[in-house]
Amino acid sequence: MNIEDYLLKNIGKLPAPMVAWVEKRMKKIPSIREKIDKEYDDMMAGLESSLKPYRDSYPTFTKLPAKGRDREEILHEMESLREREESVWKDGFVSGAVYHGDESHIEFLNRAYALNSQSNPLHSDVFPSTTKFEAEIVAMTANMLNGDTACGTVCSGGTEGIMLAMKTYRDWARDTKGIAHPEMIAPITAHAAFDKASQYFGIKMVKVPVDANSRADVNAVRRAINRNTVVIVGSAPSFPHGAIDPIEEMSELALQHNIGVHTDACLGGFVLPWAEKLGYNVPGFDFRLPGVTSISVDTHKYGYAAKGTSVILYRSKELRHYQYYTISDWPGGLYFSPTFAGSRPGALSAACWAALTSIGEQGYLDATKQILETADYIKTEIKKIPELEIIGDPLFVIAFKSDSLNIYKVLEAMGHHKWSLNGLHKPSCMHIALTLRHAQPGVKERFIADLKTAIDHVKGHPDEKGHMAPIYGMAATIPMRGLVSDMLKKYLDLIFKV
């Protein structure tokens, strides 16, 4: 065995910082670089056909058409594309993604969008209707989360809300406490958007582990707090395993240290309040906990609005001020914006307002009941499958792993039955985020039947390696995380390839 192969084989036994060091140097060795590049190219070529299915059957543009195309022809083409793609989510084969999806609801949102398609909240003087819609979206969401004096803004999605909140804590701590090297504490299960905020805004990320039920380890949080801590993050619930962190204890800790607690209720904000009313056990997560200072909640998930809106809430106006941007000496005039964007799609806020007010409390209660009953069935049935184990005690995002089978092979086998579920790692598992699509008659039964068939298939074909399963497996276990990151960047390149 030559030295390169020896290193590749044994690198996993080294401590993480040494792996990073070796990796960096190995990638500079031309022969290794070549090997790696070749593997990337092969992998991307394999993915290209499934990611770019329309090259042969539809016109492709790499420059503007010399003369504009016929409008009807364009719309016809889009209709045909939608037709090809819609059954997989409409028939309930997808985890998350489309949370409502009823035809009449979609038609209604589209009409609300169309009526407002020229609106831009940046021009609040020209479009005061959008200002009204946004103020009321924030007020209704704050009220739902028991923040009767809370405030906030509408933003483009959960990621933006989280990033805005982290920037807000950084600036608040610098201004009120003189903290120059801010740190945030988050469980490893917190959404990737917190890491993104850490990178973008120079806030040190301090990760804490989770317990066997995938809830943040409060003792580790306590130990991680120091003079530079600005905020503690908890999820309600977390994206990977649907676990609700011990935010009650986080709230207590934060009050003792005069720091913030951000509840990431992107996923659960429009489910948990209704689950509680339906009698499910929902630990505290909202503004009733005195230490919770901000909450992100996605209207474009279980709020059933179209994609592109979310709400970021703060306990106080003082905190919200640290989110705003203002400039008073720009030749372009007095300029101010509440979020990262300048111009924004007022039509999306209008459609969001239409969703919230047309569904109402009773509608959300009914929707939550349907989803949680579907979840109860699926949890009960998975518990009867000896090969599988549910992680923690989730409400509506159900993650499961297997000690006896390669779970990524099960995931791939589910794909052959049309299912589009999420593969996760640390630990290796898969999940389904249940939506109203899964509450349609027959879907939950089909999910369990297909899961059993998939497990039988994997057990019956131990030699089958699969196509995606090895990629998941490698991505989950390879110690050289830089290589995995490079691979993801190549994947993004592929997405933007015509």
Ligand X SMILES: *Cc1c(COP(=O)(O)O)cnc(C)c1O
Site residues for ligand X per CB under 6 A: 157-159, 191, 193, 235, 238-239, 264, 266-267, 298, 310
Please report the sign of the dihedral spanned by the C-alpha atoms of residue 122, residue 338, residue 340, residue 190: negative
Nearer to ligand X (CB atom), residue 297 or residue 354? 297
Nearer to ligand X, 394 or 479 (CB): 394
Q: Compare residues 197 and 230 and give the one whose CB is closer to ligand X.
A: 197
- Residue among 483, 498, 496 at smallest CA distance from 43: 483
Residue nearer to ligand X on the CB measure, 161 or 415: 161
The answer to whether 38 touches 498, Cβ cutoff 8 Å, is: no
Q: How far is the CB of 138 from ligand X (least distance, A)?
A: 17
CB-based contacts of 415, cutoff 8 Å, min separation 6: 421, 468
> CB under 8 Å, gap of 24 or more: what pairs does 319-325 form?
319/168, 319/172, 319/260, 319/293, 319/294, 320/151, 320/152, 320/153, 320/168, 322/167, 322/168, 322/169, 322/171, 322/172, 322/175, 323/153, 323/164, 323/165, 323/167, 323/168
Q: Name the residue nearer to ligand X (CB basis): 191 or 444.
A: 191
User: In sequence order, what DSSP letters do the residues of 448-460 get, joined into one string?
Assistant: HHHHHHHHHHHHH
Q: Give the shortest CB-424-to-ligand X separation in angstroms.
A: 12
| β partners of residue 430 | 400, 423
How far apart (Å, rounded) are the C-alpha atoms in residues 477 and 372? 33
Nearer to ligand X, 26 or 164 (CB): 164
User: What is the nearest approach in angstroms of ligand X to the Cβ of residue 266?
Assistant: 4
CB of 118 to ligand X, least distance (A): 25
CB of 6 to ligand X, least distance (A): 41
Q: Nearest approach, Cβ of 400 to ligand X (angstroms)?
A: 18
- Confirm if 11 and 479 have CB atoms less than 8 A apart: yes
Compute the least distance from the CB of residue 427 to ligand X, in Å: 18
> Nearest-CA neighbor of 262 among 355, 334, 193, 169?
169
Give the residue nearest to ligand X (CB).
158
Closest to ligand X by CB, 159 or 368: 159
What would the two tokens of residue 152 be?
């906030």
